[in-house]
Amino acid sequence: MPHFRVVGGQPLRGEVAVAGAKNAALKLILAALLTGEEVRLSNVPEIADVARLVELLRALGVKVENSAGGHYTIRADSFTTTELSREHAPKIRVSTLAIGPLLAREGRVTLPHPGGCALGKRPIDLFIEGFTAFGGRAEEGEDELTFTANRLHAARFVFPFVSHTVTEALLMLASRVPGVSTLVNAAMEPEVSQLAEMLRSMGAKIKGDGTPTITIEGVERLAGAAVKVMPDRLEVGSFAALAAATRSELTITHCDPAAVEVPLAHLAKIGVPLEVGRDFVKIRPAGELRALNITTHEYPGFPTDLQAPFTVLLTQAAGESLVHETIFDGRLFYTDKLNTMGAKITLLDPHRAIVRGPTPLRGKHLESPDIRAGLALLVAALAAEGESKIENISQIDRGYERIEERLAALGANIRREE
């Protein structure tokens, strides 16, 4: 099986350009299902999750062409089926966002229970509640869900808790439902705003994205669009944590530092020297790193997807840090792997861990449990003395484009082996 072999303990140096945002690209690809006209996307990251989603669309009869440089052309002028492929849908959780476009255009969609990262319970109940509010009906079978709608209508939906995925799902659906709909306690992520901007360019009237209340005036038909995928803010934070943990001097380019203000502020408090420009972040080697408490929160708070690489960084900080994961159950379980490398992390409960540092890390044989924890193990391997072998790297490939090539260009001793 493919794996990474990493020899750590050496600082990196150079520039790394940020790829297109995974969490934006996947939603923009799915938004193309809302129209029968051509949608052109650029700066799409070449990652495994994009490839899986493209296969899912093609199985629906959607025409998808792609060329070098992350350029995609999508035309969903007709569908050969409204059943999401049992082969492809379970491999990617974002497949649930196909419900809205298919329900709006075809009145019916069937999907197997979605897959994705194993991060504790992520029930589809909120999707069902949201689509039902707009006039949809859901019938749950033993291993599939069927949504139908004779006549959809505008709605006011109040989220019981913030969910960026369901916000995006209902944003897409409401754009094709005539009338004025309102989403209250909606997610405020920049990726939600880019989706809203794309839908506006297609003809929907949307106000309030980036705030907790979004108003959508839907239309019966949406036009095509041409959109450049925004830079991946999670890559910015990941590379910044990597640079700090390995005492490296890195310049992270082609990015939007404003989208990662909170993680960058945390780095500054830890003691990492930063230079922030309009479209770059420069990290310089730090002296002594200071312990810091981190609590994940919905945007604009500290991103849950950066919790793992920052936890690795905290193993190199002097003192005791508390990491509080408030979004997902079970997202701290990877810390036992860091402990085998020499870290001193105590898991208090599924949501809280104490990190005591600084502790030298040693290379180990590791297995990636999910996208973000996999990247964190890679950061740990680069910070550790000796050789590490990281297996199940298909998880890392789901979210990071050609990661080993980009790291090698910075001087990392890393290679992909079969």
| Catalytically active residues, by annotation | 117
Distance in angstroms (rounded) separating the CA atoms of residues 264 and 281 = 9
User: Distance of alpha carbon 350 from its chain centroid, rounded?
Assistant: 21
Q: Are 63 and 86 in contact (CB under 8 A)?
A: no
Tell me phi and psi for residue 182, to 5 degrees: -130, 130
Q: Which residues contact 360 (CB under 8 A, 6 or more apart)?
A: 342, 384, 385
Residue 336 is encoded by which pair of tokens?
């036992």
Q: Are 357 and 314 in contact (CB under 8 A)?
A: yes
Residue 59 is encoded by which pair of tokens?
């199985």
Q: Are 222 and 34 in contact (CB under 8 A)?
A: yes
Distance in angstroms (rounded) separating the CA atoms of residues 88 and 211 = 34
Tell me phi and psi for residue 60, to 5 degrees: -85, -5
Residue for token pair 């590379």? 239
